[in-house]
Amino acid sequence: MSRKTVLVTGANSGMGLAAATELARRGYRVVMACRSLERGEAARRVAIRQSGAADIELMLCDLGSLRGVRQFAEQFLARHDALDVLINNAGVITIKRHTTSDNFEAMMGVNHLGHFLLTSLLLPAIQRSPQGRIVVVSSGAHKAGRIHFEDPHLTRGFNAVKGYAQSKLANVLFVRELAERLRGGGGTVTVNAVHPGAVATDFGVDRRTGFGRSVYRLLRPFFRTPAEGAATAVYLATANEVAGVTGQYFYDNKPAPVSALAQDAVTAKRLWEWSEREVGL
């Protein structure tokens, strides 16, 4: 049987690195998508050492740049005919309002729009897999969010929670709408969202944009390890019993409730259409 290929975004740290390592250990052909060559290469060496798999591939992808995502997709498709599993894991949280190179608010831009474009461009390759899977790392924080259609890039009244919760709600709505569209197409591709729990990673620690280390030092002992946090994404990527499950939100390997807004079909469709315009599809 030929090996399955999995692509993990934000694979150089935290849960992305843990998922990439575990999937390589299980025999998957892993492609790590990272925005920094230096951090990506260092992480690739860690993943190789810990998994024992020598052929882990590193590719550069900045999800904060539509041009970067398009270039990445082109290079990926030139090297790989089919993609069995896409794990949309990369994410940011920023204290102050930051923008991507396309002038998107950074959390909306990276957490949702960059992955929206990436998934759209890679979908033909995922559909060439016998049973393609898309796993979107969202968060319980989606429950605090709404989509601010009147000002989605939060040019007024920005705060970190508002922006992060909006982007993670966008992840769940994206899963809902994509699952709907894929069902209509009659294929075998599934798409599900994940809440990983509270996980001790470097998330939000960035000295320039984030919280710094002090909050984490206090809370770290109560958090899950990156491997524990990545376990549900790995489960959705690999388990036979979820091969036909789509459009769900999982926590601890089980479907879990989402907010009322996250179930709203009209909002999901509206977000999809807005996202298509934003990324130029």
36 sits near ligand NAP (criterion: CB under 6 A): yes
Cβ nearer to ligand NAP, comparing 117 with 271: 117
Three-state SS at 46: helix
Identified binder of ligand NAP from the candidate list 14, 145, 163, 247, rule CB under 6 A: 14
For residue 38, give both structure tokens.
Answer: 């230096």
Identified binder of ligand NAP from the candidate list 91, 152, 163, 247, rule CB under 6 A: 91
Residue ranges in 188-227 that form contacts with ligand NAP under rule CB under 6 A? 196, 198-199, 201-203
Cβ nearer to ligand NAP, comparing 117 with 268: 117
Total residues binding ligand NAP (CB under 6 A): 26
Residue ranges in 126-185 that form contacts with ligand NAP under rule CB under 6 A? 137, 139
- Tell me how far apart the alpha carbons of residues 32 and 10 are, in angstroms, rounded to a whole number: 8
- Tell me how far apart the alpha carbons of residues 219 and 206 are, in angstroms, rounded to a whole number: 17
CB–CB of 23/6 below 8 Å?
Answer: yes
Round the CA-based radius of gyration of the chain to a whole number and report it: 17
CA distances for 175 relative to 77, 194, 260, 262, angstroms: 23, 10, 15, 10
- The single residue of 164, 235, 249, 251 carrying the catalytic annotation is 164
28 is catalytic: no
Q: Rounded to a whole number, what is the largest CA-CA distance in the chain?
A: 54
Q: Which helix (DSSP H) or strand (DSSP E) does residue 162 occupy?
A: helix 160-185
Shortest distance, position 18 Cβ to ligand NAP, whole Å: 8
Whose CA is closest to 69, among 122, 12, 16? 122
22 sits near ligand NAP (criterion: CB under 6 A): no
Candidates 61-69, 151-159, 185-193, 211-219; binding stretch for ligand NAP (CB under 6 A): 61-69
Residues that bind ligand NAP (CB under 6 A): 10, 12-16, 35-36, 39, 61-64, 89-92, 110, 137, 139, 196, 198-199, 201-203
The set of catalytic residues is 164
